[in-house]
């Protein structure tokens, strides 16, 4: 066998073996990986909708929301993923709203790449707790260095205004999007 | 048999210190800086890389006679990329939290110079057992280095180690340590410190002229005016001091 | 649309510089940044490969991997593309401009193991960029890489005349400088919300 054909044979064989091995590993881990993702989703939903014991996925107009269901299978709020650009990277959150989309029930940060110790404080209970029972009308507003005085105000993290602002903007934008999609055709 | 055993063991320990991929050979820098922001991350990345090292060393060494030389780099890359993908999916399935934190750097193990470098310079030229030992040594050396950097950055940057809070609330963390700048600084200083120790073997002897020579036990080893690494000292020791005249005051002719 | 692309370019070249913010391309950054000329040449060659890689990897991703549901082949296929591209570029330069080929020397094959190239292909795929966006992203990454390399080379050329403590010579001082550079570039963070 001359060099050229040997090269071709070896490379093709390797390609096939590699592809086969990878396809096998993919198949073997597919279920587990999907399960992991579902677990994470479920955990996030139950964190933001404290009364929910189960949930139902609703898709409408390209928006995905999860309706929480309490132990009597009655609606216990709506949760959805909100994401957008933060200070250093993308921020992904799970937001829980009441069924009328008037108040936030809970907030959980799924992914963030903000500055550790500063912007990353958006994951702390101190910051997120402000969003519980927060009114979203007309929109969420952040204030600096003073205590919030209105039902739709939260206080930005000191020295992390940009991250706090990003969270507020993302929430306002995505809540409007969900509102539009759900109210349409109602 | 005794010599062979000793040789095998030294192949293994080579990667741990003498030719430490991170501190001496300066390979695999990208992950060393990127995921060493905590001890756990550093260790996880090191272990994943070790897995790929050993697996690819196995395949490459056993097939080294079958792979034509012209396509060997392509072949190694395919083998390495396959194992990296396997490691990636394994992490995603069984260690989802770690997989998320390490993020896109797991696939980047493919271009980790350590793996390709060892494949090219060792596994492709040696039998199975030595190759496996070399891979294991290099991998563990890499893991140790990453974990060490991770420990330092985590303690200074978050006051914890392996996610266990070590320093109390009195400690104001040096956030910079968790950021890219801190990574560069930590590694740079660590290399500096390690070099200081490795270079202590020779002592500097100064002539009254412009020559700075390196002496060991009163014997001039080299007249190069720089710090010698242990390998260079060894090489200079073996080389007979030829044309250069000894640096004594009597011999100074110019 | 054009504004968005421009912001994306600035983002990948400066704000989220591949070397100083994402730790990609460190090996050539440490190894080849001693002289401004060679740093610049390597940077240009890498930018070229990066842009081409961006195009081809996007094509493979969309027309093959996604269409036939083969996400597990992403790593292998991308790296093969990169290795082949580098090989082709090397042959092309050898044929068309032997002086350039001699000048670049060993650097060309080293582009294959540049984490920045595989990194940009994977990031672009992860963030689901469109075709034009991927090209701009790849080009921006290359420019940023070249920028970091040239800055470091310029500093190191000056360092030759300075009195660096012996244990820090070489890698040590380069890394410390890189740290200071990274600190400086942090000032750009938040400049663009892309």
**Which residue in the block uniquely carries the two structure tokens 């991770």?**
B150
State the average pLDDT over residues A16-26: 88
For chain C, residues with pLDDT lower than 70 are 32-33, 103-106, 190-194
Chain A nearest CA to B142, separation (Å): 26
* Chains in touch with A (≥3 Cβ pairs < 8 A): B, C
* Confidence at residue B206, expressed as pLDDT on a 0 to 100 scale: 46
Whether B198 and B229 have beta carbons less than 8 Å apart is answered as: yes
Asked casually if ipTM beats, i.e. exceeds, 0.95, the reply is no
* Chains in touch with B (≥3 Cβ pairs < 8 A): A, C
Show which of residues 113-142 on chain A sit within 8 Å of chain B, judged by CB atoms: 115-118
Q: B107 φ, ψ to 5°?
A: -60, -25
pLDDT at B225 over 60: no
* Confidence at residue B232, expressed as pLDDT on a 0 to 100 scale: 64
* Confidence at residue B50, expressed as pLDDT on a 0 to 100 scale: 92
Q: Does B181 touch chain A if contact means CB atoms closer than 8 Å? A: no
Burial of C142 (0-12, 13-18, 19+ CB in 10 A): buried
* Confidence at residue B239, expressed as pLDDT on a 0 to 100 scale: 63
Share the mean pLDDT of chain C. 82
Which region among B78-82, B231-235, C55-59, C71-75 has the lowest average model confidence (pLDDT)? B231-235
- The answer to whether B89 contacts A29, with C-beta atoms less than 8 Å apart, is yes
pLDDT class for B214, splitting at 50, 70, 90?
A: low
Q: What is the pLDDT of residues C79-92, one digit of tens each?
A: 888 888 888 888 88
Of residues B71, B81, B93, nearest to A11 (C-beta):
B71
Which region among A148-157, B102-111, C28-37, C138-147 has the lowest average model confidence (pLDDT)? C28-37
pLDDT class for B61, splitting at 50, 70, 90?
A: confident
Three-state secondary structure of chain A? CCHHHHHHHHHHHHHHHHHHHHHHHHHHHHHHHHHHHHHHHHHHHHHHCCCCCEEEEEEECCEEEEEEECCCCCEEEEEEEEEEECCCCEEEEEEEECCCCCEEEEEEEEECCCCCCCHHHHHCHHHHHHHCCEECCCCCEEECCCCCCCCCEEECCCCCHHHHHHHHHHHHHHHHHHHHHHHCCC
More confident residue, B201 or B84: B84
DSSP structure class, residue B250? G
Q: A138 φ, ψ to 5°?
A: -65, -30
* Confidence at residue B208, expressed as pLDDT on a 0 to 100 scale: 39
Show which of residues 67-126 on chain C sit within 8 Å of chain A, judged by CB atoms: 70-73, 76
* Chains in touch with C (≥3 Cβ pairs < 8 A): A, B
What is the Cα gyration radius of chain C? Answer: 17
State the average pLDDT over residues B69-79: 81
Of residues B70, B86, B93, nearest to A36 (C-beta):
B93
State the average pLDDT over residues B81-108: 86
Which neighbouring-strand residues pair with A57? Answer: A66
Chain C nearest CA to B160, separation (Å): 23
State the average pLDDT over residues B130-146: 88
* Confidence at residue B83, expressed as pLDDT on a 0 to 100 scale: 92
pTM of the complete model beyond 0.95:
no
> In terms of CA atoms, which chain C residue is nearest residue A20?
C73
Show which of residues 170-189 on chain C sit within 8 Å of chain A, judged by CB atoms: 189
Sign of CA dihedral B32, B34, B35, B37: positive
- The answer to whether B30 contacts C178, with C-beta atoms less than 8 Å apart, is no
Of residues C71, C76, C194, nearest to A85 (C-beta):
C194
B–C interface: beta-carbon pairs under 8 A: 129
For residue C71, the SS3 value is helix
Chain C nearest CA to B3, separation (Å): 34
Chain A nearest CA to C135, separation (Å): 20
* Residue C6, token pair as written in the block: 């421009």
> In terms of CA atoms, which chain C residue is nearest residue A26?
C72
Q: What is the pLDDT of residues A83-125, one digit of tens each?
A: 887 776 778 889 888 888 888 888 898 887 777 667 778 888 8
For residue B124, the SS3 value is coil
Of residues C70, C71, C190, nearest to A87 (C-beta):
C190
Q: Does B178 touch chain C if contact means CB atoms closer than 8 Å? A: no
| Closest to B141 (Cα-Cα) out of B27, B13, B54 | B13
Q: Does A27 touch chain B if contact means CB atoms closer than 8 Å? A: no
For residue B208, the SS3 value is coil
Q: B103 φ, ψ to 5°?
A: 55, -135
- The answer to whether C189 contacts A25, with C-beta atoms less than 8 Å apart, is no
Of residues A23, A88, A166, nearest to C72 (C-beta):
A23
Q: What's the CA gap between B52 and B116, in Å, rounded?
A: 11
Of residues A10, A15, A117, nearest to B175 (C-beta):
A117
Which neighbouring-strand residues pair with A103? Answer: A135
| Closest to A46 (Cα-Cα) out of A82, A70, A63 | A70
Sign of CA dihedral B237, B242, B247, B249: positive
pLDDT class for B249, splitting at 50, 70, 90?
A: very low
Chain A nearest CA to B187, separation (Å): 20
């Amino acid at each position: 066998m001359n060099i050229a054909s040997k090269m071709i044979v070896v490379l093709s064989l390797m390609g096939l073996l590699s592809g086969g091995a990878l396809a096998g590993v993919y198949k073997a881990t597919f279920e587990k990986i999907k399960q992991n993702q579902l677990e994470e989703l479920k955990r996030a939903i139950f964190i933001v909708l404290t009364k929910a014991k189960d949930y139902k996925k609703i898709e409408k107009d390209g928006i995905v929301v999860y309706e929480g269901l309490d132990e009597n299978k009655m609606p216990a709020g709506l949760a959805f993923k909100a994401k957008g650009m933060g200070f250093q990277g993308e921020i992904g959150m799970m937001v829980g709203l009441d069924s009328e989309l008037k108040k936030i029930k809970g907030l959980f940060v799924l992914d963030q790449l903000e500055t550790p110790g500063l912007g990353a404080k958006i994951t702390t209970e101190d910051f997120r707790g402000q969003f519980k029972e927060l009114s979203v009308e007309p929109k969420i507003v952040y204030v600096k260095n003073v205590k919030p005085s209105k039902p739709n105000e939260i206080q930005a993290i000191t020295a992390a205004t940009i991250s706090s602002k990003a969270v507020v903007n993302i929430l306002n934008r995505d809540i409007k999007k969900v509102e539009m999609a759900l109210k349409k055709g109602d | 048999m005794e010599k062979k055993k000793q040789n095998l063991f030294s192949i293994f320990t080579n990667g741990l210190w003498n030719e430490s991929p991170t501190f001496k050979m300066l390979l695999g820098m990208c992950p060393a800086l990127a995921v060493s922001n905590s001890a756990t991350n550093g260790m996880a990345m090191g272990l994943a890389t070790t897995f790929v090292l050993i697996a690819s060393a196995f395949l490459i060494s056993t097939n080294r006679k079958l792979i034509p030389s012209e396509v060997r780099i392509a072949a190694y890359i395919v083998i390495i990329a396959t194992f990296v993908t396997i490691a990636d999916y394994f992490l995603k399935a069984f260690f989802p939290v770690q997989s998320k934190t390490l993020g896109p750097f797991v696939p980047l193990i493919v271009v980790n110079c350590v793996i390709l470098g060892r494949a090219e310079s060792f596994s492709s030229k040696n039998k199975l057992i030595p190759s496996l030992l070399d891979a294991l040594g290099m991998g563990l050396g890499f893991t140790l280095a990453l974990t060490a950097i991770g420990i330092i950055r985590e303690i200074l940057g978050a006051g914890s180690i392996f996610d266990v809070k070590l320093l109390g609330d009195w400690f104001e963390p040096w956030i910079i340590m968790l950021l890219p700048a801190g990574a560069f600084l930590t590694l740079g200083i660590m290399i500096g410190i390690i070099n200081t120790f490795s270079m202590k073997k020779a002592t500097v002897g100064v002539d009254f002229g412009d020559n700075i020579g390196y002496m060991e036990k009163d014997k001039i080893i080299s007249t190069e005016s720089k710090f010698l690494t242990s390998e260079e000292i060894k090489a200079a020791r073996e080389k007979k001091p030829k044309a250069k005249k000894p640096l004594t005051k009597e011999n100074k002719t110019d | 649309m054009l504004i968005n692309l421009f912001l994306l370019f600035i983002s990948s070249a400066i704000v989220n510089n591949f070397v100083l913010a994402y730790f990609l391309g460190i090996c050539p950054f440490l190894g080849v940044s001693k002289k401004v000329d060679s740093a610049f040449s390597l940077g240009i060659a890498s930018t070229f490969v990066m842009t081409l890689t961006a195009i081809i990897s996007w094509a493979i991703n969309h027309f093959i991997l996604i269409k036939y549901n083969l996400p597990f082949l992403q790593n292998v296929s991308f790296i093969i593309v990169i290795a082949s591209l580098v090989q082709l570029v090397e042959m092309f330069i050898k044929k068309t401009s032997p002086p350039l080929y001699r000048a670049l020397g060993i650097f060309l094959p080293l582009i294959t193991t540049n984490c920045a190239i595989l990194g940009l292909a994977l990031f672009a795929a992860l963030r689901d960029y469109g075709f034009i966006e991927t090209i701009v992203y790849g080009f921006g990454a290359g420019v940023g890489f070249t920028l970091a390399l040239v800055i470091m080379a310029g500093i190191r050329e000056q360092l030759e005349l300075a009195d660096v403590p012996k244990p820090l010579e070489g890698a040590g001082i380069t890394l410390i400088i890189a740290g200071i550079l990274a600190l400086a570039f942090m000032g750009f963070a938040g400049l663009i919300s892309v």
